[in-house]
Amino acid sequence: MRAAEPVTLLAVAQQAGVSKTTASDALRGSGRVSEETRVRVLRIADELGYVPNGSAQHLRKASTGAIGLHLPAVLTRSNYYMSFVFGVVEKAAEFHYDVTLITSDAPSRRAPRVDGLVLGDPLGGDPVVERLMNAGVPTVTCERFPGGARADGVVRSEHPAVVGDLLDHVRSAGASRPALIVAGDESDWAAGVHRGYREWCARRGVAPMVRTVEFDTSGEELHLAARDLLKTEPALDALVCAPAAATELLPVIRECGRTIGGDLLLASCVDGPSLRSADPPVTAIDLRPREAGAACAELLFDLLAGTAAEGTERLHEIELIPRASTTRATPAPAPPR
């Protein structure tokens, strides 16, 4: 028979009707916790059979010298996530901390021996994310977690608003029927992109044209979505790609007889080296991943030091970078007679 799941600090806190921080303080005998609350938390912890996590017991007293970083499995082929990792590692080094990388295919169910956790783009329905968020140590997520658990801190960006800016930009360049290829809503980022597109369409009185793909989409799935849009939507005059580099769509665009900067404008919701070096360079939203990673780590250390309150959300600025792919090509002047 499989062993029962360990009781988490979050479970104790929820049963006692207090926050994770209050439950942790009550169990350690520290912090500003009333005697009545302390007794209630201790009683519930005993009734549930709660065993404190070794790392959590050292919080604000000693230190493991490490924080954990969890990322979706797309890390190996994503420039965004590699930059995010560097941001976390560089900020952790300023605090003389190491970073332990935790992946979604990690088999261990043991709580990680870290003082806190950063979760980049946590996906709803990921059992590893759910387990980590209930591990009894402070957690910070990059974007909100769409599942049931709640992070102690969040670093987020205004994706719907910047997607609206992108669509206004392609409209000013002459495109009136933009389409979107987007990942499913299991990611808060993808959900924000999708919402921003639909809100813009509603404001402009434009019928949405959307194809949804997996968050960790393959090149083949992306090509199928783009091919379907380009062949079934003749009015389409701009294509916005969210889940992967828009440069992956260039072969399909050529196959369908469309010309970037001619009868089709192209943009991406994530920037990267391949978009900057493409011919033509592709308009994109710069998510500033290195800075995002650093901001997540900084918020986690503020939570560990007690200088940030549980539930803190901080805004991470992102920006639209216009390039040639959303500029209409000017016809060459006719030669003189």
Give the DSSP H or E segment for 36: helix 35-48
| Alpha-carbon dihedral angle through residues 266, 269, 270, 274, given to the nearest 10 degrees | 0
pLDDT truncated to tens, each residue of the chain (337 aa)?
334 566 778 888 899 998 887 887 788 666 678 888 988 999 998 888 887 654 444 444 447 889 999 987 765 457 888 999 999 999 999 988 999 998 766 555 566 789 999 999 998 888 888 889 888 899 999 999 998 888 999 999 999 999 999 999 999 999 999 999 998 878 999 999 999 999 999 999 999 999 999 887 778 889 999 999 999 999 999 999 987 778 889 999 999 999 999 999 999 999 999 999 999 999 999 999 999 999 999 999 999 988 899 999 999 999 999 999 999 865 434 444 4
Residue 299 amino acid letter: L
pTM of the full structure: 0.79
pLDDT the model gives residue 237: 96
**Of 311, 295, 312, 293, which is closest to residue 69 (Cα–Cα)?**
293
pLDDT the model gives residue 332: 39
pLDDT the model gives residue 218: 73
pLDDT the model gives residue 252: 94
pLDDT the model gives residue 55: 42
pLDDT the model gives residue 296: 97
What's the pLDDT tens digit per position in 60-80?
444 788 999 998 776 545 788
**Of 167, 186, 187, which is closest to residue 176 (Cα–Cα)?**
167
Q: Phi-psi bin for 143: left (phi > 0), alpha (psi -120 to 50), beta?
A: left
Alpha helix locations (H) across 125-257?
A: 127-133, 159-172, 188-204, 219-232, 250-255
The rounded distance, in Å, linking the Cα atoms of 260 and 325 is 6
